[in-house]
Amino acid sequence: MLHLAWPLLWLLVVLKLGLFLLLLAASLHLLRLGLWSLRQPAPAALPPLLATSDALPHITVQLPMYNEQAVAARAITAACALDWPRLSIDVLDDSTDDTRQLIDRLVAERKKQGVDIRVLRRADRRGYKAGNLAHGLSQLAPDCAYVAIFDADFVPPADFLRRLMPVLLGDKKAAFVQSRWAYLNESNNLLTRLQALILDGLMLVEQAYLDANALPLQWNGTSGIFRMQALREAGGWLGDSQTASVLTEDLDVSYRAHLRGYRGRHVASVAVPSELPAQMSSFRVQQQRWVGGGVQVLRSLVGKMTREGLHLRSVVTLLAHLTRHARQPYLALSLLWLPLVVLGQTPASQTVVPVESSRAQSLERVAQLALAAISLRAGLLLFVFAVAVYYCAARRQAGRSLLQAALLSPLLIPLSMGLSWPLSAALLRGLVESPARSEFQRTPKAGDASDSIRPDSSLGTGIRPARRLGQALSPLVEVALGLLYLALAGVVLFRAQLQTGIALIGCIALGLLWVGLGSLRRPAL
């Protein structure tokens, strides 16, 4: 038994209870959405818009690119194959490598074939993707009422516009309509399979629920169509700043549009194939960008939410989404105090408070009893069950294997624990760092090549040395912690505490080693 002073024991009681309540709240949320989805029919395919009249609105397809040599040809080919009578295509090229020449050649070939396509470039890369999109908007034809946006790794089907445009044409308060994502490289490895599972849950369960209940819906940044009037009223891609953007301009603009009285629409029956990050280092940076950007959006919009007189349910939905990553620092902190909980636990039969004991001894014994009574094992088992229900519901909506979802979903728990430290760091940076100082690292699209991460700076300066050093050291710290947790698991086994600690300790060790070792495989920046 590990003897600790009673104040520390009571602190551990509070922390352990907090983690249990966090698991309980997450479980109930996932079960609610999963059970809702299980009661819904599979998404029905929308009939395509058959009219070919010139009375249909003018749509411009925008393809933002930055050094996308591996996928530029595929993206341009897919855009040119889209079926719409009044269609323009703008390749928004910020490339600084040989991709520029490749794009110029591809666009010239398509122009000869009669396609209305052009390349737009700007003097510098200020504002990153949001700045690129804003520059593209400034060059639109006056009669362009809608813009469709596809990242370079997305391959829309030819009937994409005809299937989604009826939603916008029939709902004047819809700022945008978007499809769900499919995956070109899902079978690449275990990480890509898990990412596909996560995204299916987001787009086939959560976003389907938000759309069905007319609740605030985030724009996913690609594979959708935006109404120009709503985009202008929301302040465009750069918002109030007009010079710098938050790291997640898609989330920012969709919620700004909601504050102006618009809503987003989601069509789960249309899927656009895309490419998933195949390496942990790529996935890690992508998740950090999303977490940091979400915090920046929260900072910029929280005051506006109260001033705009939104319905309470909408405010709760917005805040719940924007604060969902507030759990990350708590998860990271749990990696430090959970060993004390496990080593300090004693059987409940040994925690009877003797009448003659001193006050300090009584408090210590009661704390030990409370530690034994709070069952993290039960909370973890409930969470595993809720996760399985949620992602099985998503795969049911997609018409895919439920068995695979049930087998893969428990692995999301060690993955979440392993990512808690880097995501906590991203969250804290998002809280204190202004968007103008945020450095955008994008995940390059690999095509048939190996995945990688490159610095992405509008001023060409790359990543600041301090952050580069932190990115190099963080995986090493995670590996070291993972090894320590393996040793702790051995201690737990030796003490025969199979029910009180081995599952949780092993889960943490697996997650830290998985994320840490995977992140060490980083190409030179």
Average pLDDT in the 347-365 region? 56
Give catalytic status of residue 250 as yes or no.
yes
Report whether 405 contacts 193 (CB < 8 A). no
Question: 58-279: which CATH architecture?
Answer: Alpha-Beta Complex (3.90)
- CA dist list (Å): 157 to 228, 273, 463: 23, 9, 37
Rounded Cα distance, 509 and 515, in Å: 10
Rounded Cα distance, 122 and 135, in Å: 7
- Give the model confidence (pLDDT) of 408-447 as tens digits: 999 999 999 999 999 999 999 888 877 666 666 666 566 6
Predicted local confidence at residue 454, as pLDDT: 46
Catalytic residue among 90, 93, 94, 211: 94
The model's confidence at residue 469, banded by pLDDT at 50, 70 and 90, is low
For residue 377, which of 507, 499, 508 has the smallest C-alpha distance? 499
- pLDDT above 70 (res 376): yes
For residue 300, which of 434, 396, 192, 400 has the smallest C-alpha distance? 434
- Give the model confidence (pLDDT) of 308-319 as tens digits: 667 778 888 888
Residues forming CATH 3.90.550.10 domain(s) in the chain: 58-279
Report whether 289 contacts 240 (CB < 8 A). no
Catalytic residue among 90, 153, 211, 250: 250
Report whether 180 contacts 127 (CB < 8 A). no
- Give the model confidence (pLDDT) of 233-285 as tens digits: 999 998 776 655 677 888 899 999 999 999 999 999 999 999 999 999 999 99
